[in-house]
Amino acid sequence: MFDKINLRELAKVTAPDRAFLSLYLSDAGALESLGKRIGNTRSLLRDNRDEAEYFDENIELVEKYLKKNPVESGGICIFACWALDYFKAFPIEVDMPDLLIVDSSPYIRPLAELQDEYENFAVVVADNKSARIYLVVSAKAESEERVRGNIKNHVRKGGWSQQRYERRRDKQLHHYAKDIVDRLKELDRSESFRRILMAGSRETLAEIKRVLPAHLARKLVGEKAMNLSEGEHCINREIFDLYFDEERRSEERLWERIRNEYCRKGKATVGAADVLDAAKAGRVSKVVVSRDVRIDGIRCRDCDHLDEGAHAACSKCGSQSIFKIDLVNEIIELLASSGAEADFVDPIPGLTEVGNIAALLRY
């Protein structure tokens, strides 16, 4: 499960040269399909003997690992550094593009994007017959609990008999909803999640909402009244539609908060250079960054200085022994080290105009 991958630990590991190989492989044949990129990278590193050697040794480590541990399903990400005797491999269960990155540290941006996009969330799927309560982790359901309802349909009897039947039915529905919420409370005590989503019959969902305690009601971010006989595939689609709708709204709220803070000269900053400086100082609480943006930067081999932009020499020591880096990845590493968060968002006009990255600050 990629939610268990510790980005802070990965961000601690670094080398002075481009000694790290980061690979994201979508399936068992992905390394072979990257053959052309491997050859081109090898050619481009020839002018630096050490980095060329690191690359060849890292590729050999990866090939040996995959031979002993073939990918049987899903994908895998690998971080290899022969120079530091470092090797980590993690299974990835969701679709991702094949990537090969050579840098001075593990390239963790794709993992940060996955952890942001696929947060843990709780699900209640219920009608009057039965309910399922489960946690979605790394886009997969686990920790499922079931509750039987067997609440009878409304009937027409008339008079006092009708009223007694309805009172008894209402009481059964109330206790059924409380049983569901009790299971949800247990899940909340044992697992970490910020959101609850519900799907099922309108009457059942309404009763569940009535008995939800305040701390769980605050986590309820979406619901869908639907006929559960439509099938598992349809239910899952509706649940994930609810989840991603809320994810987009959450991203917009974060951007609005940053924008308002910045406009009143509060605790916010915008643009790559200022966000980088704040991240270096550990001042960042949350970053919002356009999902597919590439922001260039450089790192100095001699003094390890990190800078925004495409410079011919290090702005700190003047050395021309520099190499280009993905500045977003470097900022993500700094955030991971300080316990800050990053939200990767679809294009937002205001954010695009200030350089595709902005931050909410701690102080």
Q: Are 350 and 259 spatial neighbours (Cβ–Cβ below 8 Å)?
A: yes
Q: Which residues of 69-103 are buried (b: 16+ CB within 10 A; e: fewer)?
A: eebeeebbbbbbbbbeebbebbebbeebebbbbbb
CA count, 13 A, side-chain hemisphere, 361: 21
Q: Tell me how far CA of residue 70 lies from CA of 40, 64, 210, 302, in angstroms.
A: 25, 10, 50, 39
Burial zone of 236 (CB within 10 Å; 0-12 exposed, 13-18 middle, 19+ buried): middle
Tens-place pLDDT, residues 279-296? 999 999 999 999 999 999
User: Phi, psi (5° rounding) for residue 46?
Assistant: -65, -25
Residues in the chain: 363
Q: Whole-model pTM? A: 0.88
Tens-place pLDDT, residues 266-277? 999 999 999 999
| pLDDT reading at 46 higher than 60 | yes
361 forms beta bridges with 284
Roughly how many angstroms between the first and final C-alpha of the chain, as a whole number? Answer: 34
Q: What is the pLDDT of residue 262?
A: 98
Q: Which residues of 315-348 are buried (b: 16+ CB within 10 A; e: fewer)?
A: eeeeeeebeebbbbbbbbbbbbbbebbbbbbeeb
Mean pLDDT of the chain, nearest integer: 94
Tens-place pLDDT, residues 137-190? 988 888 788 999 877 665 555 555 667 767 888 899 999 999 999 999 999 999
Q: In the chain, what are the domains?
A: 1-111 (3.30.960.10), 119-229 (3.30.420.60), 256-362 (3.30.1330.30)
